[in-house]
Structure 1
Amino acid sequence: MSQIQLIDEIRAASRLMVRELGFMNSTLAATNYSPSAVHSLLEIENHGALTAAQLVQILGLEKSSVSRMLTRLLAAGELQEVQARHDARVKLLKLTDKGAETVKKINEYGSMRVIKALENLDAAQQKTVAHGLSAYARALENCRDVDMSSSSETIEIITGYVPGMIGRIAEMHGTYYAKHHNFGHFFEGKVASGLAEFAGRLDEPCNQIWLAVSHGRIVGSVAIDGQDLGNNEAHLRWFILDDNCRGTGVGRKLLNQAMAFSDAREFAAVQLWTFSGLNAARRLYESFGFKLLKEWQGDQWGMMMTEQQFTRQKNSSGR
């Protein structure tokens, strides 16, 4: 079979599966819910609990679409919002008793469809289908990761002050932390005032800021302040990404630039202050050699929380 024939056969089979599994319909799996709603219920059941942001990443959908769909599921009593144990400001989505019953019916329906289909295949064919579908699904998932990485290639990393920078970085901080952690105007104002003060010191060789820019719009930032801590230690500040850039590798590119600068300046250490619960950011920091050295209860961001200090010693490259 030629490559063209192979591709045509796979595409034809994919179209047939989409039709036969009911994805052409407005509802799915013998429910009154859309395919995205059904998949959301299944993923939440599979993980136990998820944030809305995590669900956006898993489903690969626009956050506005997921938000509207979740609003309907909450109103229908299928889901409930609960506070995360590690951080009371983080809202997790969990199934209600009604939702658990709905998922049970979805799984029963799905299993029944698979059983009936497999009855038309012998044992060897069944194994081929199971292994082939799993491999093909993973291959498609990997394509999504590649596509996201490719989109990041259109993003340029630049240094230095850019008009509108202070307001845009404050906006990204204010919007993200209000949505996910209920921070208010105190936090956004603190970001803006601190950044405005720092911008006046950018002519000092020990200070620098990196901006991720897409089509003229700032979509990410990070800064190294080499003055405010003293003792030849640097302060990593204002690391933030636009929601659309999360998971694309842009954050790692920004931190690569900041760490290369810090190593070139031969700072004895680089410190950053954050708070518990930002697990994805923590994993990224730790991959660059940052280690958690201190934790305490504080309110520097406008409310009491478990604050943290991470430190990266000189020439510590992480994993």
Structure 2
Amino acid sequence: MIDQKIIDEIRSSSRVMVRELGFMSSTLAATDYSPSAVHSLLELENRGSLTAVQLGQLLGLEKSSVSRMLLKLIKAGEIKEEQDKNDARLKVIKLTLKGVDTVRKINNYGERRVIQAIEKLNSSEQLIIAQGLTAYAESLVDCRDNKDLIDNNIIEIVSGYRAGMIGRIAEMHGTYYYENYNFGSFFEGKVATNLAEFSNRLYKDSNNIWLAIKNNKIVGSVVIDGEDLGNNEAHLRWFILSDDCRGQGIGKKLLKEAINFCDQKQFSAVQLWTFSGLSAARKLYETFGFKLTNEWEGDQWGNTMLEQQFTRVNNGN
């Protein structure tokens, strides 16, 4: 049991630090930027580059807040967006030369504040402050990480129709591919129209959909359409995850459900169509036995892309 006096003292000291370090103000560290913007610049300096999703997770901010803040920093010339060298689906954020100079000024300001605050203390007291703050900060991070782990554990994979799924899946596709590839209303409309048509056939044994659900919200999907190709071949469609659920193994769980279904139904092959540059998705497909069988220049998604076809043959047939 923690002594209530210790709790009260830590809380009181934390409030003083928030006030004295300027977090109650609209700007921070002698800049014209908000605290979240200043922290974003510092994280970019420490890590070199980050996606918007990664930055939001680090700072504990909502996606919409991060987007607005990053747009202001881009317009101010502090940061820039580039395509990730390892995954063409993603855009990473980096400091510009102006941003590097701004971070240098922020660090200089921060160092002066620390020196002013502790220079009259002896070395033992300085060490106590440093070690105490480090331990407290790490404990706060651990609390957030544990909460995230608990949240991840309640993600469930369900099959079949769920109210609102057509709009939600179309929204996830439209948002992701607009932000990363500038796909417009044509693409989102096509997803919604085709998914609505498929949903009317969902009751048939050869068709199914799997949804990842978190806090009663759809955060991922994959479909097996066993009818539209004919020849006893299945069509894998609408495989998507929300940004905050990537890299957690959810996509692998969805694909496993879909592939198990295809094997149970003894389809001779599973086909999927995508485009070049989706490196992470391609690695996942290949894990499940898909191989690139065809590629060509096409515009079925509204933009001209190097389109690709991947095939998984059921060798058991």
User: Does the CA-based 8 Å contact 1:80-1:94 persist in structure 2?
Assistant: yes
Residues 106/213 of structure 1: CA separation in 2 closer, same or farther (3 Å cut): same
Structure 1 residues 232 and 92, CA gap change in structure 2 (3 angstroms): same
What's the counterpart of residue 42 of structure 2? 42
8 A contact 1:290–1:311 mirrored in 2: no
Tell me the secondary structure at the aligned position of residue 169 of structure 2.
Answer: helix
Partner of 1:186: 186
CA spacing shift, 1:192–1:75, aligned 2, 3 Å? closer
Within a 5 Å distance, the mapping from 1:190-201 to structure 2 comes to 190-201=190-201
Q: How many residues align?
A: 311
Between 107-116 and 273-282, the greater mean CA deviation after superposition:
273-282
State the Cα deviation string for residues 72-129 of structure 1 (Å, max 9, x = none).
3233332344555678886543333322211111122223334555643536962x65
CA distance in 1, matches of 2:129, 2:200: 63
Unaligned runs of 5+ in 2: none
Give the deviation of 1:36 after TM superposition.
Answer: 0.4
CA distance in 2 between counterparts of 1:162 and 1:234 reads 22
Cross-structure match for 2:97: 97
Deviations 1:168-192 (Å, cap 9, x if unpaired)?
Answer: 4223312321122101233224323
* Alpha carbons 1:291, 1:310 under 8 Å: kept: no
In the alignment, is the contact (CA less than 8 A) between 1:148 and 1:248 conserved in 2? no
- Tell me whether 237-246 or 56-65 shows the greater mean CA deviation: 237-246
The residue type equivalent to 1:208 in the other structure is: N
1:265-276 to 2 correspondences below 5 Å: 265=265, 272-276=272-276
Q: How far, CA to CA, are the matches of 1:155 and 1:98 in structure 2?
A: 42
Give me the whole-angstrom Cα distance separating, in 1, the residues matched to 2:116 and 2:314. 62
Amino acid at match of 2:96: T
SS in 2 for 1:3: coil
Shift of 1:39: 0.9
Per-residue Cα deviation, 1:227-251 (whole angstroms, up to 9, x for no partner):
5567876543212244566677765
Check the 8 A contact 2:297/2:307 in 1, yes or no: yes
Q: Which residue in the other structure is 1:298 paired with?
A: 297
Q: Verify the 8 A CA contact 2:212 2:221 in the aligned structure 1.
A: yes
Q: Tell me the equivalent position of 1:144.
A: 144
Rounded Cα–Cα distance in structure 1 between residues aligned with 2:91 and 2:215: 33
Distance in 2 separating the partners of 1:198 and 1:74: 41
TM-score normalised by structure 1 residue count = 0.73
1-side partners of 2:78 and 2:166: how far apart?
Answer: 42
Tell me if the contact between 2:81 and 2:92 (Cα under 8 Å) persists in the aligned partners. Answer: yes
Distance (whole Å) between structure 1 residues aligned to residue 274 and residue 44 of structure 2: 28
How many angstroms apart in 2 are the aligned matches of 1:4 and 1:297?
Answer: 68
Q: Distance in 1 between matches of 2:308 and 2:126?
A: 55
Is contact 2:88-2:278 (8 Å) kept?
A: no
What do residues 185-204 of structure 1 show as CA deviations (whole Å, max 9, x unaligned)?
33224323432443344233
Distance 1:135 1:290 in 2: 43
Identity percentage of aligned residues = 62
TM-score by length of 2: 0.74
Q: Which runs of 5+ in 1 are unaligned?
A: none
Matches within 5 A, 1:165-176: 165-176=165-176
1:220 corresponds in structure 2 to 220
1:110-150 deviation per Cα after TM superposition (whole angstroms, max 9, x unaligned)? 23334555643536962x65555445434433433443454
Q: How far, CA to CA, are the matches of 1:280 and 1:17 in structure 2?
A: 43
Cross-structure match for 1:4: 3
